[in-house]
Amino acid sequence: MFKVLERRELAPTEYEILVDAPRIASKAKPGQFVILRIDEYGERIPLTIVDRDKHAGWIRLIFQVIGKSTAQLATVTTGEYLKDVVGPLGKATEIENYGTVLLVGGGVGIAALFPIVKGLKEAGNRVITILGAKNQNLLILQEECAQYSDELILMTDDGSIGKQGLVTDAMEEVFQREKISTVWAIGPSIMMKFCTLTAQKYKVPIYVSLNPIMIDGTGMCGGCRVTVADSIKFACVDGPEFLGEEVNWDEFVNRMQQYRPEELLANKRYEEQVISNG
């Protein structure tokens, strides 16, 4: 059992929890994730480790309510417990001093981007960060990213904060004005795909963090398999970071839809239960 030490609403439908998990906190590196299960009927869902405190022994997780399990997770409050949390899983980001790096985060993907921003800044890079969301309310972790960025560019669909437009517009501007050694992009798959195309246009290597369907998260089922450079990789153990230009995006997007009917059914059933229980 893993105690939730703190729970906060960050934005409409986006939540942050601090979970007491000393072993994971002592090992976690930027780019890694955990798999959690809320209760004995629960499914195993992957979430990126956003931050951790080695001494206090907690890890920080951020999630968006997108279906049954995340809706239920949003109801777990301070002082309550999660049944299972396992990690840190996946390969860590290769943090080193690259020079000037560009980091692009979209929506709840900003949560997964933040530890990489922080890690690269601490490794001595000049860090330019672009954050994008639908509107100001959904633009999470601005202050935290600002703290570890030399330059922070905000983009919203409606222009409610920063500039109106897409993160790829901001990428173009940065590429045109200066030399970038490496890019990271984390967000919805369609965003990562277009970030990849933009970086390729300027011949800059770009890493993306893939979030396919996972079950065990330890390499024993292949549910999270993705085709990278024409070979089968398991995102949970070989990734989750891969070079964007090597990812077969159409296939990746298609596989994400695999359980759409079941996901909708589970969510509908949960909402009905919540309503009938008041």
Q: Give the count of alpha carbons within 13 A of 195, CB side only.
A: 32
Distance between terminal CA atoms of the chain? Answer: 27
Q: Is 64 annotated as a binding residue?
A: yes
- Whole-number Å distance between alpha carbons of 37 and 35: 7
Site for other proteins in 209-228 (CB under 8 A): 215-216, 218-223, 225-227
Secondary structure (3-state) at 220: coil
Among 150, 178, 262, 271, binds other proteins (CB under 8 A): 262
Extract the tokens encoding 147.
């703290």
Binding mask 58-97 for other proteins (x = CB under 8 A): ----------xx-------------xxxxxxx--------
Query: Which residues are 182's β-sheet partners?
Result: 101
Extract the tokens encoding 51.
């931050």
Q: What's phi and psi for 154, nearest 5 deg?
A: -110, 135
Considering the complex, what minimum distance in angstroms separates the CB of residue 275 from other proteins? 16
Secondary structure (3-state) at 48: strand
Extract the tokens encoding 266.
């589970």
Cβ contact 188:109 at 8 Å: yes
Extract the tokens encoding 160.
């409610």
Among 6, 43, 245, 246, binds other proteins (CB under 8 A): 43
Among 66, 190, 265, 274, binds other proteins (CB under 8 A): 265
Among 17, 24, 120, 247, binds other proteins (CB under 8 A): 24
Among 6, 13, 42, 136, binds other proteins (CB under 8 A): 42
The window from 47-55, 149-157, 188-196, 246-254 that contacts other proteins (CB under 8 A) reads 246-254
Give yes or no for residue 37 binding other proteins (CB under 8 A): yes
Extract the tokens encoding 139.
């633009």
Specify the residue, 165 or 223, whose C-beta has the smaller distance to other proteins: 223
Q: What is the DSSP string of 170-219?
A: HHHHHHHHS--SEEEEESSHHHHHHHHHHHHHTT--EEEE-----SSSSS
Q: How far is CA 254 from the centre of its chain?
A: 19
Specify the residue, 8 or 23, whose C-beta has the smaller distance to other proteins: 23
Among 3, 5, 6, 44, binds other proteins (CB under 8 A): 44
Extract the tokens encoding 249.
């995006």
Give yes or no for residue 54 binding other proteins (CB under 8 A): no
Q: Is 194 annotated as a binding residue?
A: no
Q: How many residues bind other proteins (CB under 8 A)?
A: 42
Among 269, 271, 272, 274, binds other proteins (CB under 8 A): 269
Cβ contact 176:148 at 8 Å: no
Binding mask 150-189 for other proteins (x = CB under 8 A): ----------------------------------------
DSSP conformational letter for 91: P
- Write out the binding residues for FAD: 62-64
Binding-site ranges for other proteins (CB under 8 A): 23-24, 27, 37, 41-44, 68-69, 83-89, 215-216, 218-223, 225-227, 232, 237, 248, 251, 254-255, 257-259, 262-263, 265-266, 269
- Write out the binding residues for [2Fe-2S] cluster: 221, 224, 236
